[in-house]
Amino acid sequence: MKVYISADIEGVAGVVHIDQIGPQGGGEYQKARLQMTKEVNSVVEAALALGASEVLVNDGHANQRNILIEELHEDALLLAGSPKPLAMMEGIDASFDAAVFVGYHARAGTSGTMSHTMSGGAVANIYVNGQVMGETALNAALAGYFGVPVVLVTGDNRLTGEAQGALGLVETVTVKDVIWHTAAKCIHPRKVLRMIREAAEKALSDISQYNPLIIPGPVTIDVEYLRKAMVEMAARVPGYTQVGELTLRKECADYLEAYRWMRMMVVG
Ligand SMILES: [Zn+2]
């Protein structure tokens, strides 16, 4: 069994504010990235206990240098640093049996803890074939392109609800209940580690019950931007169609191509 883990930090236990998710936060950030590493370890330990031959961990947040490698389980492999072509899903391919998303957050336009979609500064919404999707569904569909099911997702209650809506049967661990964009009722970080370990064991012990999220081609991807200037800048790249005042569209042959274009439209 090969297990793929994509890790973010907004949905980690106790994390509620931007000071906890980047170096500008100093000690607050150091504590959050240690907890991020420990939550990943809970999944790694469960996978190895069930006989996994490889666990690949992809650090997906911001500069993608958040996980403390010296604190990571020594039998896991870590994808660190950026840019990576597939960003939060770098390294995923058809050789994996299951994917797990740790520390994820709800999509843009919701009241989840620090909710956004791919770029909080640029993106109002991303639509796939006309359906709004957050990072959970966007990334799960890339795993699905390779036939890999997402079996466990962890984060706040808005995120876990979103994951269930997008994926159907999936294990979830709710680590905090949202009060406001930057406030939540939090479960103790040590208790969260036990909850994630138990949920990962449950999910990885019977992968066959979970279905990959498969979006067959052709795929239409729409990026709705926050400001008109961003649309005008992005529209200079040939190949996009502007379909609304703030929205660019790209028609793609399949979901992998759509995901790559989406990355370009968000960062480029
Ligand atoms: Zn993040």
In 3D, which of 221, 231, 223, 228 has the Cα closest to residue 258? 221
> What are φ and ψ of residue 160, in 5° steps?
-70, -35
- The more confident residue out of 203 and 240 is 203
- The more confident residue out of 218 and 121 is 218
Report how far ligand 1's centroid is from the alpha carbon of 153 (Å): 14
Asked if residue 110 lies in contact with residue 161, where contact means CB atoms within 8 angstroms, the answer is no
Q: What is the pLDDT of residues 130-167, one digit of tens each?
A: 999 999 999 999 999 999 999 999 999 999 999 999 99
Strands (DSSP E) along 24-82, which ranges?
54-59, 76-79
CB contact set of 188 (below 8 Å; sequence gap of 6+): 13
Supply 228's token pair: 């008109």
Report how far ligand 1's centroid is from the alpha carbon of 9 (Å): 5
* Cβ atoms within 10 Å of 251's Cβ, excluding its own: 15
Asked if residue 6 lies in contact with residue 102, where contact means CB atoms within 8 angstroms, the answer is yes
pLDDT at 217: 93
Report how far ligand 1's centroid is from the alpha carbon of 51 (Å): 30
> What are φ and ψ of residue 191, in 5° steps?
-65, -40
Residue 239: band (very low, low, confident or very high) from pLDDT cuts 50, 70, 90? confident
pTM (2 d.p.): 0.97
DSSP one-letter code for 21: S
Report how far ligand 1's centroid is from the alpha carbon of 216 (Å): 27
Report how far ligand 1's centroid is from the alpha carbon of 5 (Å): 14
DSSP one-letter code for 24: G
Q: What is the pLDDT of residues 87-118, one digit of tens each?
A: 999 999 999 999 999 999 999 999 999 999 99
> What dihedral do alpha carbons 156, 64, 66, 91 form, nearest 10°?
80
Report how far ligand 1's centroid is from the alpha carbon of 21 (Å): 8
Q: What is the pLDDT of residues 167-220, one digit of tens each?
A: 999 999 999 999 999 999 999 999 999 999 999 999 999 999 999 999 999 999
pLDDT at residue 267 above 80?
no
Per-residue buried b or exposed e for 6-43, using 16+ beta carbons within 10 Å of the residue's own CB: bbbbbbbbbbbbbebbbeebeebbebbbbbbbbbbbbb
pLDDT at 266: 87
pLDDT at 264: 86
> What are φ and ψ of residue 70, in 5° steps?
-70, -20
Residue with tokens 């995120």: 159
In 3D, which of 139, 135, 142 has the Cα closest to residue 118? 135
Which positions are annotated as active-site residues?
Answer: 116
Report how far ligand 1's centroid is from the alpha carbon of 145 (Å): 23
Q: Mean pLDDT across the stretch 70-76?
A: 98
Is 2-106+135-209 a CATH 3.40.50.10780 domain? Answer: yes
Report how far ligand 1's centroid is from the alpha carbon of 136 (Å): 12
Amino acid at 234: A
pLDDT at 236: 81
The per-residue pLDDT of the chain, averaged, comes to 96
Cα(28)–Cα(196) distance, integer angstroms: 22
In 3D, which of 28, 41, 26 has the Cα closest to residue 71? 41
pLDDT at residue 119 above 80?
yes
Name the pairing type of β-strands 171-180 and 183-186.
antiparallel
pLDDT at 229: 87
